[in-house]
């Protein structure tokens, strides 16, 4: 698994990569020797500007593809474009996310946060899996602390992120990695100071609940720095075992919480199922 934990010479596909954490992943993995990073995002102008800046520093190592991950036809087209340009994809980072539980946006947000993740994961698996002639690879799915606690203002977002977590741990059950060589990793971020937290009250299901949530979060200094989140992400990439689940919160080092998640599931199974 050593080769999978190294960025050098690898082709990365990053959804939601034009800004925020996605853009930081692109920069750090190019610093670590990535062969190419494909930035997929709905924000075309921002994405093209960002990729141009990357190519100034790393000539020819970045590309931008406009892609709305809530739309399957755009996912298919973008995935094929990355393959056509690079002949392979070694790492997929399902970073695109929408934290919006409002009455007018929740469905699109759910398609981005859940169905887009599943679509890119399945396409990546089919391309990478060694039992079908691929070279193996890593797929990283971004969940959230909202998957691990009851966050009243964002029940739809939390539900989608819990689905992402459960999908990653379940699809990775042995002998998945031994058969395919595909390493699935999941990371749960606590509140992080990215554009996603802007206008958070308007994005919640109910404004009063959002106000209470925001007040509590500020009091607990729950919003971590972007650089801390990126450091935790890289730690997971370099150290994460197949199927592992990681936590990044409160500017602490990345924490492997797989055993805690497994224990919770095992205790429930022992008490109620077996």
Q: Which CATH number do you get for residue 150?
A: 3.40.50.720
**pLDDT on residue 100:** 84
pLDDT tens string, the chain, 274 residues long: the values are 558 889 999 999 999 999 999 999 999 999 999 999 999 999 999 999 999 999 999 999 999 999 999 999 999 999 999 999 999 999 999 999 988 888 888 899 999 999 999 999 999 999 999 999 999 999 999 999 999 988 877 899 999 999 999 999 999 999 999 999 999 999 999 876 666 655 655 565 555 554 555 545 544 446 788 899 999 999 999 999 999 999 999 898 899 999 999 999 999 998 898 7
**pLDDT on residue 192:** 67
Query: Could you say which DSSP state residue 174 is in?
Result: T
Query: 126 and 46 in contact (C-beta within 8 Å)?
Result: no
Domain count, the chain: 1
**pLDDT on residue 218:** 45
CA distance 58 to 41: 20
CA distance 193 to 224: 6
CA distance 213 to 169: 29
pTM score: 0.91
Query: In 3-state terms, the chain is what percent helix, strand and coil (to 5)?
Result: 55, 15, 30
- Catalytic, out of 9, 25, 58, 157: 157
- For this structure, is 157 an active site residue? yes
Pairing, β 245-248 against β 255-256: antiparallel
**pLDDT on residue 219:** 43
CA distance 260 to 224: 22
Helix segments in the chain, DSSP class H: 20-31, 44-57, 72-86, 106-110, 116-128, 155-171, 176-180, 200-203, 207-219, 226-239, 258-268
**pLDDT on residue 273:** 86
What is the domain range of residue 250?
A: 3-273
Q: Indicate the burial class of 62 (C-beta count within 10 angstroms; 0-12, 13-18, 19 or more).
A: buried
């Amino acid at each position: 698994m050593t080769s999978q934990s190294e960025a050098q010479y690898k082709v990365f596909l990053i959804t939601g990569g034009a800004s925020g954490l996605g853009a930081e992943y692109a920069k750090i993995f190019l610093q670590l020797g990535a062969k190419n990073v494909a930035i997929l995002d709905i924000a075309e102008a921002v994405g093209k500007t960002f990729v141009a800046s990357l190519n100034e520093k790393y000539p020819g190592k970045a590309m931008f593809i406009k892609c709305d991950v809530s739309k399957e036809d755009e996912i298919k087209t973008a995935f094929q474009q990355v393959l056509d340009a690079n002949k392979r994809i070694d790492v997929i980072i399902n970073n695109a996310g929408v934290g919006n539980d409002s009455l007018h946006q929740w469905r699109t947000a759910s398609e981005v946060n859940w169905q887009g993740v599943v679509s890119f994961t399945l396409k990546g698996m089919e391309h990478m899996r060694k039992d079908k002639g691929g070279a193996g690879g890593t797929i990283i799915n971004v969940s959230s602390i909202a998957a691990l606690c009851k966050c009243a203002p964002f029940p739809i977002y939390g539900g989608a992120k819990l689905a992402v977590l459960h999908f990653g741990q379940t699809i990775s059950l042995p002998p998945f990695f031994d058969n395919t060589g595909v390493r699935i990793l999941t990371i749960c971020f606590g509140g992080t100071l990215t554009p996603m937290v802007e206008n958070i009250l308007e994005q919640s299901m109910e404004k009063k609940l959002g106000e209470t949530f925001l007040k509590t979060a500020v009091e607990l200094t729950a919003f971590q720095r972007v650089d801390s989140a990126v450091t935790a992400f890289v730690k997971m990439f370099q150290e994460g075992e197949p199927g592992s689940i990681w936590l990044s919160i409160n500017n602490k080092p990345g924490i492997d919480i797989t055993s805690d998640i497994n224990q919770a599931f095992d205790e429930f199974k022992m008490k109620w199922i077996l």
